[in-house]
A and B are shown apart, each in its own frame.
Chain A
């Protein structure tokens, strides 16, 4: 009896703390190992040159995925910037301006938006968002003579820019719910203290946002990861073109996730394509890691 009890206690201690940690950490280690081992043939053959070249020519077994890398970073960063503005605004309006009775309705809508499958966002992006962005955003900007910097939009409107806007729309519900929950949970006495200083509502909201900036950084990290990894929706609106000028955001491009989704099914028919795709995935992994690390570090400092 006593033995059984002690065993139970022993399990309790380890069950949650050790085993879960251990599974989590070892699976991450394994993922990295598999990515690395599978991509080794192309690393041995080409070194870092796939990282700095924009060419995807399986016919001659040449793989350089700078275009996809650039496309991923450009779309995810732009999406993050747009979604940050949207989600902070949404959360602030929800926490401070909307009457209490309306809150559950708005909250349900926000949560519903977060749970829509990404393919549906993709269809909407393809049929509605891209043409609208083309006619009302890209064309006017291009007519101002910005096309040398932003590129000339395609007739379909699919572009890195459309993908970024779509991603922003997709990640906003999630990140804004993180900010919203934190904003709502600010203790009443802090709120009252701010108002007692005679501050205007706008000033109170700004101070509150400053107070929860760490949650905002967390929301940013989550959004960035989701934006980098999104495949189905992005593949529909990004244009899927090997575009070495990925900084010209009005032109169609590629992201690493959509490249892998497009190319993997027939990749085994080539010698080095599978390693090349795994190499791209490995690089993507380290980029996400670096971004998360930076965001969390800057959260600690402030």
Chain B
């Protein structure tokens, strides 16, 4: 009896290990396909993998747009009488993209567009898809200087100064390069204190937008740090910075730490009434993020928006940020939705109907969650044009 038990247990372990190993192997093989650059896959024809029923679509991705997506879905389903059921899962930009690539989601939403790794996979699989901007976003620089709050002053910064603060080249608030940006009354109120640099510790689209802007403005930042969901922060290494989770974590840390600086999604800063710094734009004017200044930037970007199948991972960097115009806020982006053109026709039609509603009715003030900003007319027209491909595709 004892022997039998032993044999059963051992053989079971062996069987399971073999199963586990084959699973692991197949996973490995998949990963290898994904990482190898441009392998021709002649046997692989573009086959639609989505199996959701035509009247229900499932999407997922960026958590920042989640409140807006949920409102849109509710209003859309009210207006269509629930004929098309939409479901959005807030799982993060990277995960949304990966799940969409696997075919588990009908559409994905990312804070900045499909990443380099994901775009490579798409090119390799030769699947046709479109990307469209769905709402406007921007990043606000927030700060906590008690002296300024007491004197009723508001901080002014330039991209170069923000980059040098996070690079660790500007140590104190009283640095002449910070002082020269302030108006004469407030200059004297800058404290002789070390700046404490707070940043997102979790990978986020907000960090991606913020670091893209610094990459665009500062050559040194571009060389030393560059941009992405997560970067290495030089100021941390000097013991003058730390990370916090989420927009709420960063704003709480800045509010509770005198002489700190941070960055959050502008919608969040406006909702929470945190002091927001003016940023110097291309024309040398100091502007804050709001509906007007963000729209100004995106309006101009609509003219040269690249095609819906191009690489959009650096879209904000190349087209949205630091645009001309007196009243233009420089750190802007748009969450991007993406979907396949070779999906079944019923699914494409459902997606078309939903996103068409989002880009028309959905952009009206009553369908926008407080703090979010609708995308300007010019960009909306362009996005609707791109969306037409869902119908014309074969």
Contact = CB atoms under 8 A, between A and B. Distances in A.
Interface in A257-291: 258, 261-263, 265-271, 275
Contacts of B226: 59-60
Contacts of B20: 29-30, 33-34
Interface in B75-116: 91-95, 97-98, 115-116
Interface string A7-49: 0000001100110011001100110011011101100000000
B64 to A, nearest CB: 12
Contacts of B258: 155
A229 interface: no
Contacts of B17: 26, 29, 33
Interface stretch (B135-143, B234-242, B319-327): B234-242
Interface residues of A, number: 51
A172 interface: no
A269 B118 contact: yes
A154 B203 contact: no
Interface stretch (A73-81, A82-90, A200-208, A237-245): A237-245
Given A38-B27, A265-B95, A268-B94, A151 B239 contact: yes
A66 interface: no
A261 B117 CA distance: 21
Contacts of B380: none
Contact of B243 (A21, A30, A151, A240): A240
Interface stretch (B7-15, B280-288, B338-346): B7-15
Contact of B242 (A33, A37, A252): A252
A72 interface: no
Interface string B221-240: 00001111111110011010
29 contacts: A13-B5, A18-B8, A26-B12, A26-B17, A33-B21, A33-B24, A36-B24, A37-B21, A37-B27, A58-B203, A58-B231, A59-B225, A59-B226, A155-B259, A239-B242, A240-B243, A242-B237, A252-B236, A258-B201, A265-B91, A266-B93, A266-B95, A266-B203, A267-B94, A268-B97, A268-B98, A269-B118, A270-B94, A270-B117
Interface of A: 13-14, 17-18, 21-22, 25-26, 29-30, 33-34, 36-38, 40-41, 55-60, 151-152, 154-156, 158, 235-236, 239-244, 251-252, 258, 261-263, 265-271, 275
Interface of B: 1, 5, 8-9, 12-13, 16-17, 20-21, 23-25, 27-28, 31-32, 35, 63, 91-95, 97-98, 115-118, 196, 201-204, 225-233, 236-237, 239, 241-245, 249, 253, 256-260
